[in-house]
């Protein structure tokens, strides 16, 4: 059953009411936002959401401190309307019948290797003092991954292994860490020999903790892949979605917007389309056929 908030957000007249003004005693519910991405960028996501509110006049609320499973359920039913998410969850929800998410924009990172495009990489890390020089040196080692649903942490490394026909036998052991941060800790401590980390998460971690740069070493860059997007619930009105999208795309043109983007190592937000995420669908099909894991 829809909640009162869900029924209101389903209304195509919602944005029009905002523009025209609403009665003084009518409380407009905020657009609720959250992130499923690296916690080390949480301040950037929160500041971006606050920027959207101040720039559009649309009330927003950033939801954090909630277990991921519950956040996911709220996104599915439209109780959270804007999400910073990995490409694989976006694809799954966009392909749901009916679709649950629609694209707003995707960040373009500042680093030269991103070529002013909304892309990122899976950086394979080892301990700085380890003997490993490349991915194939990791045969027979212990590999940590954050989640099976992670493109950078799980799917891209397994896809990289696919031509070797050794998806199940290459590593001696694979262990689920639950997050990129824990994977990095395990490589530092020696619990795991290697891990694959979202390049954006790794770069921000190193910028915040110089110790990581001394203890970790990148031996392989896998990718690029289309950048994790900002997406909106399909229950959010089209007018509101367009307003939020345009504000993100123009964020780099304002002084305050540029300051927030700089904090996140972001050059700008770029327009993306569902077709840009088709390569992820292709990777899923290949890995499912190879039996790498239950990726359904």
Work out the pLDDT band at 275, boundaries 50, 70, 90: very high
Cis peptide before 187 (omega within 30 of 0): no
Choose the weakest-confidence range: 3-7, 92-96, 235-239, 257-261.
3-7
Confidence label for 11 from pLDDT (cuts 50, 70 and 90): very low
Per-residue pLDDT averaged across 23-30, rounded?
57
* Position 18 pLDDT exceeds 50: no
Give the pLDDT score at 7: 35
Instruction: Report which listed range, 90-94, 145-149, 161-165, 286-290, is most confident.
Output: 90-94
pLDDT at 97: 95
Question: Is the pLDDT reported for residue 211 higher than 60?
Answer: yes
Is the pLDDT at 26 greater than 70, yes or no?
no
Q: What is the DSSP letter of 171?
A: S
Token pair listed for 246: 């345009």
Mean residue pLDDT across the chain: 88
10 Å CB burial of residue 137 (0-12, 13-18, 19+) is middle
3-class SS of residue 192? coil
Asked if 4-110+228-274 and 119-226 have one fold, the answer is yes
pLDDT tier at 201, thresholds 50, 70, 90: very high
Over residues 149-156, mean pLDDT: 92
Predicted confidence band of residue 156 (pLDDT cuts 50, 70, 90): very high
pLDDT of residue 293: 53
Question: Bigger pLDDT: 209 or 81?
Answer: 81
CATH number of 4-110+228-274: 3.40.190.10
Distance (Å, rounded) from C-alpha 160 to C-alpha 152?
A: 11
Q: What is the pLDDT of residue 168?
A: 64
Binned at pLDDT 50, 70 and 90, residue 28 comes out as low
256 HSE (CA, 13 A, CB side) = 10
Compute the C-alpha angle 267/107/112, nearest 5°: 50
- Please report where in the chains the tokens 């490409």 appear, as a residue: 87
Report the C-alpha gap between 219 and 134 in whole angstroms: 5
pLDDT band with cut points at 50, 70 and 90 for residue 250: very high
What 3 state SS string does 3-68 have?
CHHHHHHHCCCHHHHHHHCCCCCCCCCCEEEEECCCHHHHHHHHHHHHHHHHHHCCCEEECCCCCH
Q: What is the mean pLDDT of residues 102-106?
A: 98
Q: How confident is the model at residue 165 (pLDDT cuts 50, 70, 90)?
A: low
pLDDT, tens digit, for every residue of 105-131?
A: 999 999 999 999 999 999 999 999 999
Q: Could you give the residue ranges of the DSSP H alpha helices within the chain?
A: 4-10, 14-20, 42-56, 68-76, 87-94, 156-161, 180-189, 199-208, 210-215, 238-249, 255-263, 278-290
Please state, in angstroms and rounded to a whole number, the distance separating the CA atoms of residues 60 and 75. 15
Q: What is the mean pLDDT of residues 226-242?
A: 95
Res 19: pLDDT: 43
Superfamily (CATH H level) for 119-226? Periplasmic binding protein-like II (3.40.190.10)
pLDDT of residue 188: 96
Mind listing the pLDDT tens digit for each residue in 46-73? 999 999 999 999 999 999 989 989 999 9
CA distance 233 to 117: 24
Domain positions in the chain are 4-110+228-274, 119-226
Can you read off the two tokens belonging to residue 208? 């915040």
């Amino acid at each position: 059953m829809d909640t009162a908030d869900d029924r209101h957000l389903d209304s195509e007249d919602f944005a029009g009411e905002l523009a025209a003004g609403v009665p003084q005693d009518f409380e407009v519910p905020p657009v609720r936002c959250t992130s499923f991405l690296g916690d080390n960028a949480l301040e950037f996501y929160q500041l971006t959401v606050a920027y959207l509110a101040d720039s559009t006049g649309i009330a927003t609320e950033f939801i954090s401190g909630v277990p991921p499973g519950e956040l996911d359920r709220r996104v599915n039913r439209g109780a959270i309307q804007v999400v910073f998410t990995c490409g694989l969850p976006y694809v799954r929800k966009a392909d749901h019948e009916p679709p649950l998410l629609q694209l707003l924009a995707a960040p373009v990172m500042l680093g030269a290797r991103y070529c002013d495009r909304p892309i990122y990489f899976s950086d394979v890390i080892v301990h700085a003092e380890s003997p490993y020089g490349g991915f194939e040196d990791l045969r027979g080692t212990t590999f940590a991954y954050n989640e099976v649903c992670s493109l950078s942490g799980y799917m891209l490394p397994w896809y990289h292994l696919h031509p070797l026909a050794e998806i199940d036998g290459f590593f001696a052991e694979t262990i689920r860490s639950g997050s990129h941060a824990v994977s990095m800790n395990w490589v530092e401590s020696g619990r795991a020999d290697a891990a694959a980390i979202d390049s954006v998460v790794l770069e921000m971690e190193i910028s915040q903790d110089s110790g990581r740069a001394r203890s970790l070493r990148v031996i392989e860059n896998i990718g690029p892949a289309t950048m994790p997007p900002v997406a909106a619930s399909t229950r959010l009105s089209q007018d509101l979605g367009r307003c939020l999208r345009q504000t993100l795309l123009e964020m780099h043109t304002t002084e305050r917007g540029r300051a927030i983007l700089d904090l996140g190592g972001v050059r700008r937000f770029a327009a993306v389309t569902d077709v840009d995420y088709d390569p992820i669908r292709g990777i899923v099909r290949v890995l499912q056929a190879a039996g790498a894991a239950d990726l359904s």
